[in-house]
Each structure stands twice: as structure tokens, then as C-alpha cells.
Amino acid sequence: MTGLPLSTFTVLGASGYIGSRLVAHLQAQGHTVWAPTRGDTEVFARPLGHVIYCVGLTADFRTRPFDTVDAHVGLLAEVLRRAQFDSLLYLSSTRVYMGATRTDEDAPLSVLPGDPSYLYNLTKLTGESLCHASGRTGVRVARLSNVVGPGLDAASGNLVADLLHQARQGRVVLRSDPQSAKDYVQVADILDWLPRIALQGRATVYNLASGCQTSHAQWLDWLQARTGCAVEVLPGGPLQPFPPIAVSRLQGEWGVVPRPLWDDSLLAAIE
């Protein structure tokens, strides 16, 4: 997925894992990139070109509910209302498919407002809905699967980041059922796909995922083989199944083939 016209991008949330790498990736491709800091009012005073909205909370959304709303909805509303841009791509999550019977981009979704763990889903979906209702042209949504790559933060709430961190200590303890499974996608693929969608996407919502399920047991086997760490699975851990993510829209539009998940670049996080 190369050959994009050189463009001007504004990356909001450039201090995060994806945002910081996206800035470097776009600059390496020759694009002009602005990464404003939090609270920079110049966002509303200058043309932004193509905005990629990476602002968000992950592991700490339960303890910071008001910040979560501000990040996923509040700032987005002001950008959609006041900013000058050619396009805007809002980063959402495939977590919104929790409890759904389908995982294509047009699937009906269910939520449980009384469950605090759904605050993340609800705010992401509110952000998505605001994008669609804003009346602005060139506004799209990318629902990201579980992103893995070098330099993961063990405090991010990402399972693989936690397992890698434990492997560094020589012993991994898994507290969930090893048959639990999720979809994972390499950060390098995300960095390739986001600019393409921002500049040329024909649809308004895209799943950014591998389309393949990887079990916790497979991660344990790989880590043990690559690092020699000891592994312990606590009995009675909860089974955390997640439906396979549909990627036919992404593949149909560009014919993308996700990078292999089992890449030794992940080991950079524990070396």
C-alpha cells in the first residue's frame, strides 16, 4: 500500500503508542506532519489538512471516566465543530463488537450502560456517531483490533504487552483461560492502512484487523519457545472468547494481506 500523494497531516494524540509511531511513519514517507500538544488552541486557527484522531484512553478508562469522555467525545466534538480540515479519521476499536452477533462494519451493536466496563465502548460509539452526524465531508472511522508491536507499554492493559513484560522476568502467569482468543494486528500494518483510508477510503467505517484469532495458549507457546520463560496457568481463569473480526471491506478495497503475527520484532519489547 504505497504511492500515496504527499499531503499535510495533523495527528491528534501524537504522544500515544500509535500516534507517536504514526507521526514518524508519515514523516518518513515525505508527508508534512503537525503533532500539536494537548490543549494547543492553534488546532482551531490553522488549516489541518488530513486529521488522524488518535486521542484516547485504554487501561485506565474505568478510573478516569470523565477524561475518557473528554478524549473520545469532547475534543472530537470541538474539532468537528470548529476546525478546518480536508478529512478526519477517528480511531475507534473493535471492542465495540462485544456481545454482537456479527462483526462487519454495518452490524448492529449492543451495549450495557449499567456495566462500567462498557464506558469505553459507549464513548467510542458516541464519537463514531458524532462523526457520522457532523455533516462534515471526508469524515471516517477506523475500528482498530488489538495492536501489537515493538515497545508495547506493560501498563497499557494490552494482554501481549503484559505477557512480554512477564517474560522479561523469566516467568509468565496467565490468569485467564488459555483457550481465550482475540484478533491481533501488527502496528506496522496499522501505520500503512491509516493514511490510505484517510486519503482514499470509499467507505465511512473500516475494521483494521487481521481477521484471524490467536489464543492465549498460542502466545504462551511462542513466548516460551522464544525466551525460555517458565509458564504458569492459574486454574479457574475466565474464558474470554471474542468473535473473529470481519475484514472483507479492507481486503476488498485494497487487497491487503496482514503481516505475520509471529514476528521477532515483538521481542524488542523484552530485550
pLDDT at 182: 94
pLDDT surpasses 50 at 1: no
Phi–psi pair at 82, nearest 5 degrees: -120, -25
Rounded distance between C-alpha atoms, residue 182 and residue 195, angstroms: 25
Rounded distance between C-alpha atoms, residue 66 and residue 268, angstroms: 34
> What digits encode the pLDDT tens for the residues 170-197?
999 999 999 999 999 999 999 999 999 9
Residue 120 burial by CB count (10 A; 0-12/13-18/19+): exposed, middle or buried? buried
pLDDT at 271: 44
pLDDT at 240: 85
Q: Note the maximum CA span of the chain.
A: 56
pLDDT surpasses 60 at 270: no
Amino acid at 39: G
pLDDT surpasses 50 at 19: yes
pLDDT at 2: 54
Phi–psi pair at 195, nearest 5 degrees: -60, -35
Do 213 and 148 form a contact (C-beta atoms < 8 A)? no
Rounded distance between C-alpha atoms, residue 195 and residue 201, angstroms: 9
Q: Nearest 5°: CA angle at 169, between 263 and 267?
A: 15
> What digits encode the pLDDT tens for the residues 119-174?
999 999 999 999 999 999 999 999 999 999 988 887 777 889 899 889 988 999 99
- In whole angstroms, how far apart are CA 124 and each of 69, 76, 133? 9, 11, 14
Rounded distance between C-alpha atoms, residue 80 and residue 229, angstroms: 48
What letter would DSSP give residue 41?
Answer: G
Rounded distance between C-alpha atoms, residue 152 and residue 162, angstroms: 9
> What digits encode the pLDDT tens for the residues 255-267?
999 998 888 888 7
Residue 234 burial by CB count (10 A; 0-12/13-18/19+): exposed, middle or buried? exposed
pLDDT at 91: 98
> What digits encode the pLDDT tens for the residues 92-116?
999 999 989 999 999 999 999 999 8
> What digits encode the pLDDT tens for the residues 216-247?
999 999 999 999 999 999 999 999 888 899 99
Q: Which three cell numbers stand for residue 188?
A: 506496522
| 3-class DSSP assignment, residue 221 | helix
> What digits encode the pLDDT tens for the residues 32-90?
999 999 999 999 999 999 999 999 988 788 889 999 999 999 999 999 999 999 999 99
pLDDT at 269: 54
| 3-class DSSP assignment, residue 189 | helix
Region of 228 on the Ramachandran plot (φ > 0 left; ψ -120 to 50 alpha; else beta): left
Looking at per-residue pLDDT, the higher value among 60 and 200 belongs to: 200
